[in-house]
Structure 1
Amino acid sequence: MKIDLNIEADSILVLGLNMGRIAVDVDSIELAELMKAVNNHGYSLQKTSGSEYASVTSPCSLPLAEGLQILIDWLQDNIDCHSTLIFDNDEKMTDSSKLLPCVEQALNMVLNLQSMANQST
């Protein structure tokens, strides 16, 4: 899904939830304006009480960026050792060298989001 919106906000925090749902915390915008813009694109955006997501916790026992870095190091070790480990199937043949750039991109996204969150506090 792609929505182009031109709404100014001081900060936006997006939290991925189960079953394709997200929670979004937006500072300094008119909520009605955002809901109208999204709903005009054929999607549904509605306000919840917030208590529904108050107990959302991460299943990770360590920071996400740290876990991704461990995975990057492990994938790089697999590449250096010429590992033949395949992660999906014999058709796609996704090995460490194909997966590594995706995980590096994910780490960069997490670090950028963390940086943006730290700037807004």
Structure 2
Amino acid sequence: MSFLQRLTTGLTASKIGTDRFGNTYYESRKSWLGYGRKRRFVLYAGEPDPTTVPPEWHCWLHHVTDAPLSEQKRYPWQREHQRNLTGTAQAYRPPGHDYAGARRAPTAGDYEAWTPGG
């Protein structure tokens, strides 16, 4: 976060809390004109990635709840958040994708390509 952003955020908003990923959440001190309520926003820890906002804070950001929810109990079957990998080498590529070998398993009644005049 830049010095100017830190200064203006400190003057115009109140810090509400921090999540387990280090993101910090703020609410404006005054209602915004035309908005009708206080603006809520997040300053990301590191690279801005909206997929790192946990559900407990997401509902607060979108004015679904008046206060952030407490973090829920993590069950053994629940995975920790993984950032959006679209466009990276680790992105999911189904069988038959060009980058995954471009070979798909044949299916029953596989089609034959049409050829003109044949």
Q: Specify which structure has the higher proportion of helix.
A: 1
TM-score (normalised: structure 1): 0.26
Larger strand share, 1 or 2 = 2
